[in-house]
Amino acid sequence: MRALAPSVPASRLIQSATQEGARALGIGQEFGTLEPGRRARLLAVQVPASVDDVEEYLVSGVSPDQLTWVE
């Protein structure tokens, strides 16, 4: 995402990918945010300890071997 929108804050890119993405797909009432009464699919991302800005790290791109679905 960072390559597509270099001037957009990382927090806004994450919101766009989650909350706005769910809304655009017509499932915004069930998904998109973590709140009581909503459904969730959680993905854990292994972030190196040296990373200071996690949001920026996430939107800069992670590799598939860093991802784990949380059941």
| Domain boundaries along the sequence of the chain | 10-70
Is 28 in contact with 42 (CB distance < 8 Å)? no
Residue 3 in this model has a pLDDT that exceeds 80: no
Residue 1, number of CB atoms within 10 A of its CB:
15
pTM of the model: 0.70
| Rounded Cα distance, 9 and 56, in Å | 8
Alpha helices of the chain — where are they, by DSSP H? Answer: 10-15, 21-24, 54-60
**If we measure between CA atoms, which residue out of 47, 51, 48, 43 comes closest to residue 68?**
43
Is 68 in contact with 44 (CB distance < 8 Å)? yes
- The reported pLDDT for the residue numbered 49 is 96
Residue 4 in this model has a pLDDT that exceeds 90: no
Each residue of 11-65: pLDDT tens digit? 998 888 889 999 999 999 999 998 998 888 888 999 999 999 999 999 988 999 9
